[in-house]
A and B are shown apart, each in its own frame.
Chain A
Amino acid sequence: QVQLVQSETEVQKPGSSVKVSCRASGGPFTGISISWVRQAPGQGLEWMGRVIPILGLDKYAQPFEGRVKITADRSTRTVFMELSGLTFGDTAVYYCARGSTPTYFFDYWGQGTLITVSA
């Protein structure tokens, strides 16, 4: 059974950085990608970027270019998303999601991590 388990809720100050983890268990760690999707309060889903763990290849949505970094540690089957220059607008639930290839949908999701940016 595939599971994605994310790190816990955090509160961060404006201008700081946050690093969220997503540990994958069950299923292969090859032939997949892990994406990060965020959801601001009362808003829709927004894709931020993805990493292909076996290759270490990352790709980011334009709004987050230069401010987000997604990395993978194959030894622990853990993917990290680091977001810098936090503003109040970054307050959201952040989800990791497993992407399949070559069909490119998200078949498993983490439970979500609430990041609150507050002074």
Chain B
Amino acid sequence: SFVLSQPPSVSVAPGKTATITCGEVNIGNTGVHWYQQKSGQAPVLVISSDSDRPSGIPDRFSGSKSGNTATLTISRVEAVDDADYYCQVWDGNSDLYVFGPGTKVTVL
């Protein structure tokens, strides 16, 4: 089954770009989804199926995937982007869902 890896933390200044990676050997064979979770709140889907942005999510959020790594990019970072970010995949062989360990994004 999938074991996803993410950096524990990323620090970024306002107005700059934050990049969060999600790695796994077989990640190229499945869609990767990203969630934002602010303190004390439920997660919110920000990117689905590698690079689709749900309605209502600012276009500062974008996703991509290359080889064994998926990437969530937050451009023109704002203070409101300070949150935990999780990647997630579905393992079609076992019909199980897997979350990455999460990345804490701190806006300086």
Contacts and interface: CB of A to CB of B under 8 A. Distances in A.
A binds B: yes
A61 interface: yes
Nearest to A46: B99
Nearest to A111: B42
Contact of A103 (B35, B48, B98, B102): B48
Contacts of B54: 107
> On chain A, which size bracket covers the interface?
20 to 34
A103 B96 contact: no
A18 to B, nearest CB: 19
Contacts of A112: 42
Nearest to B30: A104
Interface string B84-97: 10101010000111
Contacts of B84: 44
A44 B54 CA distance: 23
A37 B97 CA distance: 10
B96 A106 contact: no
A35 B97 CA distance: 9
B1 to A, nearest CB: 9
B90 A106 contact: no
B45 A107 contact: yes
Interface in A31-47: 35, 37, 44-47
A104 B43 contact: no
Given A44-B102, A59-B96, A106 B31 contact: no
Nearest to A97: B43
Interface string B29-70: 001010101000011110011000010000000000000000
Interface of A: 35, 37, 44-47, 50, 59, 61, 95, 97, 99, 103-107, 109-112
